[in-house]
């Protein structure tokens, strides 16, 4: 296969554009989260840098870029250095799907988002810090547990659409969003709960439980490495919300407005919902969390899947 | 819940984790050494002393009045109550009694101080449970009303230095009693709101019920006092059992718990705030006329002797033992601080629990390092 220079240049431009979108999106989400949480908590949040602190994230990124990159003594160099990349690169790779039709799109996304746990576990192990180790272990256990109901909920959507291609799943919802089907409504709830756990947010934020583990797996990271984890976390949140919007809320289908706008509205709506939950609820304990995943969510997802199969074949 | 090691094929190892003195949920500079087996606490050691300022020794170099501001720094979340406890002890030593208006003002201040302290205690506890900052900010918003009132009355927001031996430093300013009434009527629905946020929250109940059970016998044998003792079902409150000031004139209940778990400790504090509002309301309605202030800069020379006086602080019994040798400065002072006894019971409660529960139990005991280390 030969690639012409022109195609190569276009690929680079598209790639850079995707990276810029990811970075800007994460920065926007960080600002948005700070604003949402502030207004929930009777505060204003950032107000000084730009209009209502709109440039606060830019200032933070500049600060993080200029910070010294501290490497504590006794770290496992390989794991320590590669962990931030493992946390962020898979999430970035998901964006390769944007605007493209891959016949196994749903599978591709789930496979990539599962890799992030590796980065978190490497960070926990490599930091040579007991808090990080606990955070990494919790994270591995949690993400693996919640992956199962998450995928089962996704499979329900795949069954209804009859395809793994994200494009076709969205097109199947042209007339009616999947979420209005009772089966899919249950799947949507399971997906949201498991998704919240997947991106480590309250009430499932035990990997970085501040009141217990200081900062969990990224306790020892500073500067740009820390920023990478942050970027990965917010990109993951965007991906989970975008997936929920595409699988259950009809993706880019909607009247009047252009499709891209509809898609972003739905995605950011779910992101805001996740933030709302985060700033309201306390955190579960690690064993309660596991119990909930294995005793409640997974059986429910399986039952839902079986019912969906029966409904489809009836 | 007893810890039983599980036999496994993979070699595992218990390890010590150092929690504090710099840790987000150790309420100051407490240091806990936890021996963990995975997530389970097997053994724990409490280290204190990181905030030691030798306040008891300082007392031997200050006149009786000069020492009042130092009591602000004991339990810095309830400075008003510390002031009160100290001046009561000094008054007992000197045989002085404040007039009625001063007593009523003291009661109002102490009860509002208790509410402010409990608001802080409950909301930091929920923060330890992972309800990140939102309840804390709500609690702070409510507490702000009380702090502003104190600011109006004595010119300070945290270290009030308001009580004086034989009275208070200044009378209530004009309109202060209306302000107090307004705060009381504002606070009632807000406390209900705060309770609604937690009491019916499934996650909150799952995290607190049955966690860190402190039996009544154990509580008494460790001389745990305050809401922590009452949560274990022991109905002991100095305001009722050994009434000081004018507490015997007011109608109020002593809320108690049943099981002595983290939930009961939280619930007792919630209910206590309502009772405090009742006391403050009765006090402000019955506020007598008179001049509660005392002459500034007076040097007291109590006769040689000793006195011990305890009073009900938000965190338990705060006692001052003062020995006088006839000079203007105390010969010796010993402070019996409630948090010191309350923290001593911590290892008994957290061994065998998960790390997250250890943090939960510590938060539910609501200790302040300022008075543990003194």
Q: What is the pLDDT of residues B93-148, one digit of tens each?
A: 888 888 888 889 999 999 999 999 999 988 888 888 877 778 888 888 889 999 99
Is the confidence at residue A148, as pLDDT, over 80?
yes
Q: How confident is the model at residue A143 (pLDDT cuts 50, 70, 90)?
A: confident
Contacts A279 to B, Cβ<8 Å: 132-134
Pick from A69-73, A178-182, A243-247 the range whose average pLDDT is largest. A243-247
Give residues 263 to 322 of B whose Cβ lies within 8 Å of A: none
Cα B92 from Cα B88, distance rounded (Å): 6
Partner residue facing B356 (CB), from A280, A281, A286: A286
| Start-to-end CA span in chain A (Å) | 47
Please answer whether residues B100 and B246 qualify as being in contact, where contact means their C-beta atoms are separated by less than 8 angstroms: yes
Contacts of B101 (CB under 8 A, 6+ apart): B171, B287, B288, B289, B290, B291, B292
C-alpha B138 chain-centroid distance: 20
- Whether residue B23 lies within 8 A of chain A, CB to CB, comes out as yes
Is the confidence at residue A297, as pLDDT, over 60?
yes
Alpha helices (H) along B34-99? 55-58, 68-72, 79-94
- What's the pLDDT score for residue A21? 84
Q: What is the CATH number of domain B65-324?
A: 1.10.645.10
Q: What number is the average pLDDT over the span B323-342? A: 89
Q: Which residues pair with B40 in a beta bridge?
A: B37, B354
Domain coordinates of chain B in residue numbers?
65-324
Angle at which helices A77-94 and A5-40 cross, to 10°: 100
Q: How many helices and strands, by DSSP H and E, does chain A display?
A: 12, 0
pLDDT digits (tens, 9 = 90+) for A92-109: 888 877 666 777 888 888
Residue B354 to residue A285, Cβ atoms within 8 A? yes
- What's the pLDDT score for residue A215? 67
Cα A119 from Cα A126, distance rounded (Å): 10
- What's the pLDDT score for residue A208? 65
**Percent of chain A topping pLDDT 70:** 95
- Whether residue B356 lies within 8 A of chain A, CB to CB, comes out as yes
Chain A nearest-CA distance from B6, in A, is 16
Contacts A216 to B, Cβ<8 Å: none
Contacts A37 to B, Cβ<8 Å: 133-134
**Using beta carbons and an 8 Å cutoff, which residues of A are at the interface with B?**
37, 40-43, 130-131, 134, 137-138, 202-203, 205-206, 209-214, 278-288
Cα B164 from Cα A197, distance rounded (Å): 55
- What's the pLDDT score for residue B323? 92
Q: What number is the average pLDDT over the span A109-113? A: 84
Closest-approach residue (CA) in chain B for A210: B24
Pick from A5-14, A171-180, B311-320 the range whose average pLDDT is largest. B311-320
Q: What number is the average pLDDT over the span B285-306? A: 84
pLDDT digits (tens, 9 = 90+) for B206-227: 888 888 888 888 889 998 998 9
Residue B130 to residue A37, Cβ atoms within 8 A? no
Q: What number is the average pLDDT over the span B74-83? A: 88
- What's the pLDDT score for residue B7? 60
Is the confidence at residue B2, as pLDDT, over 60?
no
- What's the pLDDT score for residue B154? 87
Please answer whether residues A297 and A146 qualify as being in contact, where contact means their C-beta atoms are separated by less than 8 angstroms: yes
Cα B361 from Cα B355, distance rounded (Å): 10
- What's the pLDDT score for residue A206? 66
């Amino acid at each position: 296969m030969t690639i012409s220079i022109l195609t190569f240049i276009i690929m680079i431009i598209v790639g850079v554009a995707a990276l810029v979108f990811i970075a800007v999106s994460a920065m926007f989400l960080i600002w948005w989260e700070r604003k949402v949480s502030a207004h929930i908590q009777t505060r204003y949040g950032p107000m000084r840098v730009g209009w209502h602190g709109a440039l606060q994230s830019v200032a933070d990124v500049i600060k993080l870029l200029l910070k010294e990159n501290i490497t504590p003594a006794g770290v496992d160099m390989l794991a320590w250095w590669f962990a931030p990349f493992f946390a962020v690169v898979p999430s970035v790779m998901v964006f390769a799907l944007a605007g493209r039709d891959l016949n196994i799109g749903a599978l591709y996304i789930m496979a990539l988002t599962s890799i992030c746990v590796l980065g978190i576990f490497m960070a926990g192990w490599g930091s040579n810090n007991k808090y990080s180790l606990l955070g990494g272990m919790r994270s591995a256990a949690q993400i693996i547990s919640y992956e199962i109901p998450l995928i089962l909920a996704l499979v329900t959507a795949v069954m209804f659409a009859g395809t793994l291609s994200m494009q076709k799943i969205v097109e199947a919802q042209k007339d009616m969003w999947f979420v209005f089907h009772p089966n899919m409504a249950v799947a949507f709830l399971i997906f949201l709960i498991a998704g919240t756990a997947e991106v480590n947010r309250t009430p499932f934020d035990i990997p970085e439980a501040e009141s217990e583990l200081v900062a969990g797996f990224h306790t020892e990271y500073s500067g740009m490495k820390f920023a990478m984890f942050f970027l990965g976390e917010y990109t993951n949140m965007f991906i989970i919300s975008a997936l929920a919007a595409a699988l259950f809320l009809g993706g880019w289908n909607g009247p009047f407005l252009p499709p891209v706008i509809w898609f972003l509205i739905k995605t950011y709506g779910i992101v805001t919902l996740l933030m709302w939950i985060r700033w309201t609820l306390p955190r579960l304990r690690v064993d309660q969390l596991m119990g909930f995943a294995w005793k409640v969510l997974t059986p429910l997802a399986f039952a839902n899947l079986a019912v969906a199969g029966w409904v489809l074949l009836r | 819940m007893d810890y039983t090691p599980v036999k496994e094929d993979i070699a595992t190892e218990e390890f010590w984790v150092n929690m504090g003195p710099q840790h987000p949920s150790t309420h100051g500079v407490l240091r806990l050494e936890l021996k963990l087996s995975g997530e389970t606490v097997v053994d724990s050691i409490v280290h204190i002393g990181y905030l030691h300022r030798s306040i008891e020794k300082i007392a031997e170099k200050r006149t009786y009045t000069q020492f009042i501001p130092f009591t602000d720094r004991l339990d810095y979340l309830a400075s008003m109550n510390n002031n009160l406890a100290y001046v009561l002890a000094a008054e007992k030593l000197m045989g002085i009694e404040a007039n009625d208006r001063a007593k009523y003002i003291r009661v109002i201040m102490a009860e509002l101080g208790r509410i402010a302290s409990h608001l802080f205690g409950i909301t930091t506890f929920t923060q330890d449970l992972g309800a990140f900052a939102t309840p804390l900010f709500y609690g702070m918003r409510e507490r702000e009303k009380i702090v502003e009132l104190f600011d109006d009355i004595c010119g300070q927001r945290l270290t009030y230095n308001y009580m004086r031996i034989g009275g208070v430093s200044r009378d209530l300013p004009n309109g202060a009693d209306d302000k107090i009434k307004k705060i009381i009527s504002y606070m009632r629905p807000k406390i209900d709101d705060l309770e609604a946020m937690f009491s019916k929250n499934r996650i909150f109940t799952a995290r607190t019920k049955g966690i860190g059970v402190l039996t009544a016998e154990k509580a008494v044998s460790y001389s745990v006092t305050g809401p922590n003792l009452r949560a274990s079902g022991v109905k002991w409150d100095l305001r009722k059992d050994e009434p000081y000031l004018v507490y015997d004139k007011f109608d109020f209940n002593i809320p108690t718990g049943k099981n002595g778990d983290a939930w009961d400790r939280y619930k007792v504090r919630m209910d206590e705030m309502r009772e405090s509002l009742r006391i403050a309301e009765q006090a402000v309605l019955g506020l007598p006329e008179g001049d509660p202030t005392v002459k500034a800069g007076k040097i007291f020379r109590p006769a040689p002797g000793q006195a011990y006086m305890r009073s009900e602080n938000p965190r338990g019994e705060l006692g001052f033992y003062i020995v006088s040798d006839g000079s203007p400065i105390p010969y010796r002072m010993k402070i019996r601080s409630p948090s010191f006894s309350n923290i001593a019971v911590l290892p008994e409660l957290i061994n065998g629990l998960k790390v997250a529960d250890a943090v939960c139990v510590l938060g539910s005991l609501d200790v302040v390092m300022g008075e543990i280390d003194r």
